[in-house]
Chains A and B, each alone.
Chain A
Amino acid sequence: MTAPAKVNGRAGRKRGPLVTPWSWLVGPLLIVLIVAFLVPMWLMVVRSVTDPPGAGLANYQEFFNSEADLRVLGNTFYIAAISTIACLLIGYPYAYLMAIVPQRVAGILLIFVLVPFWSSLLVRTFAWEVILRDVGLINTTLKGLGLIDQPLPLIRNTFSVILGMTQILLPFMVMPLYTVMQRIDPELTRAAANLGAPPAKAFRRVFLPLSYPGVTAGCLLVFVLALGFYITPTILGSARETMISRFIADQIQQRVNWGLGTAMAVVLMVLTFICLAIASRFVKLRDVYGALGDES
């Protein structure tokens, strides 16, 4: 069996030259990106060292000297990582299901994933609160059925935070996974079966590796988004589940200490870039971009 034609190291369609008569169409987006995104980010970095005037690295010192701030920073990455794993464990089977069922059913499954996505984050978070709290849906039902005496501690802990965040971030995991999975040629898995592999082995040796770009895309997307969450952890979690973005918001909005707030934000941003850099050692990031909607 010959391999499909490879161009620029990638199987698939041939890519054209970088600059074409249509290249200028990128211009407006580039301008918006620079003006509305890169410039404010730069200004934020500048402010972290100039507010109050002459601050230099004082804001960063203040941050790193604070035991609470560092603990919360570590906690943020921890919760984001757990959420990512949870999303993967739930999202992968779901995307796999979507990839193997008939198209119409896949469409329905797609709607199930997207509809919550379109409703407000705050509404969904409060809905979880109503379900999980001591006087909420689950506990009053179980109590009414006589199964428990004391309410189960389902809320104000890491469990409820992960639950809420996973539900909100699940579409971001399922979509890249599905995009990649449904491009995997089912003939390949069948070929493995033909050659004597049991279904589990065929899945593990053929399908799974081919889905890695989707896994990487989904995980990176979910992880980076999870790092910025603070509303859901505040509502569903206890103080131990505080995330760093909450502190940033407090410093910016309430304390009006913009030097410290921007310094914290810069620290978070740099750490995220470091995570991405580490991830890029293990996966080709170009594959990730490919997973998000390349031509099939």
Chain B
Amino acid sequence: MRIRSRSIAALFVVSAIAGACGSSAAPAPTAAPTAAPTAAPTAATSTAPTAAPTAAGLGTATSDAALCTAPTAPAGTTLTVSSYGGAYQKAQRTGWFEPYAKATGVTFVENEESANATIKSQVESGQVTWDLVDVGNDFGLAGNAPLLEKLDYNVIAGNEVIPGFASDYRVADITYGVVLAYRTDLNKGVPQGWADFFDLAKFPGKRGIYDYSAGGVFEIALMADGVAPKDLYPLDIPRAIKKLDTIKDSIVWWPGGAKSQELIGSGEVSMALMWNGRAWSAKNVDNKPVAIQWNQQLLTADFWVIPKGTPNKEAAMNFLAWTICKQNNAAPSDSIPYGPTNTLAKANPAKAPELAATNVNATTAYFNDQWLVDNAKMLDDQFNAWKTK
């Protein structure tokens, strides 16, 4: 006797449901922690920035305020913080959430799925549950104003933050570098910068690049072609594409941080455009022969934003200010090589050499977040048109 078709159908339907639940739980890893490089200060010099602060002015708060050394919060306060999970959020937890909770009695509820779209849907539906969100550099600019609370720079020490990394609706909480990471065993010699990244004759092998039009792909092509960091914007896309065509068939696109770490770790690529934290992990956690070339890095940051309409606005603002204070700002860099954003903050000397902020030199470039966001569609179109040809 054959298996009855009814039982087949029932089994199939149950499997389909189970399978659908399983597969839908796998979102596309487009934005990993500290994804989407943001624009940099508009004056893209790498020395102590002299760029003018934003139009809003950066207030009067300093790190000498009592808020920084002896913070307080009303009893029973709960703060919901959303970040990117993993080692990144763990470093924020040990560096910021736990000490602050100990000092003030605030209870932290953590979320690990920070996403721009979630902020938008929360604010639009009027049900804001996140008090503080860590976002990438493509969010928090003037265009997102309807979704965010204006930051209070009479409480936050904005004038101590690296210029350009604090504005009306967002302030940088950690800096990181988009760097050239390379395999020491697969490359003869040390690549000196992006020109070597594009030199397949001298350094054969595949190249890993972040699969995002605003991820640095055009910037590094221009720098490899000889453009100075301060002249990067507005991006000369045709020129960048011409340069990228020289390595097009050797490019392996990575959609998220974990993938980039794996690509360089497995040796499938001999050089990669990567976030410095991931390169550090490939070397120190996975024990692979990976090194970082700090020349011509793109220094950028992740930012704190406060969704509009959150019931705990003041508590969130105070905690945010506390993390920016020079005494507290560098705390996460003890566990993860992501740097302080307060120019007066001192990172652990043992960890300082691993931080992007410490490795800034005359060749360091910055993203122009505003330009990248304003031209997002054009960038996406050009990038996709070239990539899919």
Question: A-side interface residues toward B, CB under 8 Å?
Answer: 62, 66-69, 71-72, 75, 99, 103, 106-107, 110, 114, 117-122, 133-135, 156, 168, 171-172, 175, 178-179, 182-183, 230-231, 234-235, 238-240, 242, 246-247, 249-250, 252-258, 260, 292-296
Q: How distant is B286 from chain A, measured CB to nearest CB, in Å? A: 14
Kindly list chain B residues whose C-beta atoms are within 8 Å of the C-beta of A71: 385, 388
B85 interface residue (CB < 8 Å to A): no
Q: Which of B23, B116, B253, B387 contacts A254 (CB 8 A)?
A: B116
B119-160, CB under 8 A of A: which get 1 and which 0?
010000000000000000011000010000000000000000
CB <8 Å contact, B268 and A258: no
Q: Which of B12, B138, B212, B255 has the most CB of A within 10 A?
A: B12
Task: Check if B385 sits within 8 Å of A68, measured CB to CB.
Answer: yes
Contact A292 B28 (CB under 8 A): no
B376 & A255 in contact (Cβ 8 Å cutoff): yes
Contact A254 B384 (CB under 8 A): no
Total interface residues in chain B, CB < 8 Å: 52
Q: From residue A222, how far is it (CB to closest CB) to chain B in Å? A: 13
Alpha-carbon distance between A294 and B384 when the two chains are bound, in angstroms: 45
Across the interface, do B3 and A258 meet the contact criterion of CB distance under 8 Å?
Answer: no
Q: Choose one: B28, B116, B211, B387; the contact of A230 (CB below 8 Å).
A: B28
From A62, A168, A172, A296, B4 is in contact (CB under 8 Å) with A296
Closest 4 A-B residue pairs measured CB to CB?
A: A293-B9, A68-B384, A239-B387, A121-B23
Closest to A246 in B: B28
Contacts A103-B1, A253-B31 given; indicate if A67 touches B385 (C-beta within 8 A). Answer: yes
Docked-complex contact B384 and A118, CB < 8 angstroms = no
Query: What are 15 contact pairs spanning A and B, CB under 8 A?
Result: A66-B385, A68-B385, A72-B384, A114-B15, A118-B18, A120-B26, A121-B19, A135-B266, A175-B8, A179-B8, A242-B388, A254-B30, A254-B35, A257-B377, A293-B12
The reply to whether B387 and A231 contact each other, CB–CB distance below 8 Å, is no
Q: With A and B bound together, what is the CA distance between A236 and B27 in angstroms? A: 16
B115 at the interface (CB under 8 A from A): yes
The answer to whether A62 and B28 touch across the interface, beta carbons within 8 angstroms, is: no
The answer to whether A292 and B2 touch across the interface, beta carbons within 8 angstroms, is no
With a cutoff of 8 Å between Cβ atoms, the chain B residues found around residue A240 in the complex are 387-389
Contact partners of A172 in chain B: CB under 8 A: 16
In the assembled complex, B22 has its CB within 8 A of some CB on chain A: yes
Given A107-B3, A253-B117, A178 and B8 contact (CB-CB distance below 8 Å): yes
Q: For the complex, is B267 an interface residue (Cβ under 8 Å from A)?
A: yes
Q: Tell me, in angstroms, the Cα distance from A110 to B5 when the chains sit together.
A: 13
| Chain B interface (Cβ < 8 Å from any Cβ of A) | 1-6, 8-13, 15-16, 18-19, 22-23, 25-28, 30-31, 35-36, 115-117, 120, 138-139, 144, 206, 211-212, 252-253, 255, 266-268, 376-377, 380-381, 383-385, 387-389
What's the least CB distance linking B343 to chain A, in Å?
A: 30
Contact A121:B255 (CB < 8 A) given known A68-B388, A175-B8, A293-B6: no
| Residue among B30, B253, B266 making CB contact with A238, cutoff 8 Å | B253
Given A66-B381, A234-B255, A246-B28, decide whether A256 and B117 contact each other with a Cβ distance below 8 A. yes
Q: Known: A175-B12, A253-B30, A253-B31. Is A110-B19 also a contact (CB below 8 A)?
A: no
Q: A133 and B268: CB pair below 8 A?
A: yes
Q: How far is the CA of A250 from the CA of B11 in the complex (A)?
A: 35
Residue of B nearest to A115 (CB): B15
Closest to A242 in B: B388
B31 touches A254 (CB 8 A): yes
Q: Within the assembled complex, what's the spacing in Å between the Cα atoms of A28 and B290?
A: 58
When the two chains form the complex, which single residue of A156, A171, A249 contacts B30, counting CB atoms closer than 8 Å?
A: A249
Give every chain B residue within 8 A of A293 (Cβ-Cβ).
5-6, 8-10, 12-13
Which chain A residues lie closer than 8 Å to B25 at the CB level?
A: 120
Report the Cα distance A133→B266, complex, angstroms. Answer: 10
**Once the chains bind, are B19 and A69 in contact (CB under 8 Å)?**
no
B5–A294 CB distance below 8 A? yes
Assembly CA distance A192 to B8 (angstroms): 28
- The reply to whether A68 and B116 form a contact with Cβ atoms under 8 Å apart is no
Residue of B nearest to A241 (CB): B388
Given contacts A135-B266, A253-B31, 14 further A-B contacts (CB under 8 A): A68-B383, A68-B388, A107-B3, A110-B11, A117-B18, A121-B26, A168-B23, A171-B12, A171-B19, A231-B28, A253-B115, A254-B31, A256-B139, A296-B4
